[in-house]
A = this chain, B = another copy of it.
Amino acid sequence: MKKSIFYHAGCPVCVSAEQDIIGLIGEANVEVVNIGEDRARIGEAETAGIQSVPALVTPNGNVLHINFGASLADVKG
């Protein structure tokens, strides 16, 4: 199965959501990307339709925005 991708920016809300998502779907099924550190992937997150982090992109490309840590504009700024 194609992996989901979990985008976050290291914020406390993000870390908590990351642990929940990994607990639910399994570490092997999700790639975790910190766009606060790995800034080269911010564009990829935008293209996927992400407006805020934490967010999960499912294997079929749907975006699930989870709780609210930071807007993508804030991460970029």
A-side interface size class = 20 to 34
A64 and B62 in contact (CB under 8 A), knowing A24-B4, A25-B25?
no
- 0 or 1 for each of A38-66: is its CB under 8 Å from B? (1 = yes): 00000000000000000010111011111
Q: How far is the CA of A16 from the CA of B65 in the complex (A)?
A: 12
A23 within 8 A of B: yes
Q: Is the interface of A mostly helix, strand, loop or mixed?
A: mixed
A17 within 8 A of B: yes
Contact of A17 among B20, B24, B60, B64 (CB under 8 A): B64
Interface residues of A (CB under 8 A from B): 4, 16-17, 20-21, 23-25, 29, 56, 58-60, 62-68
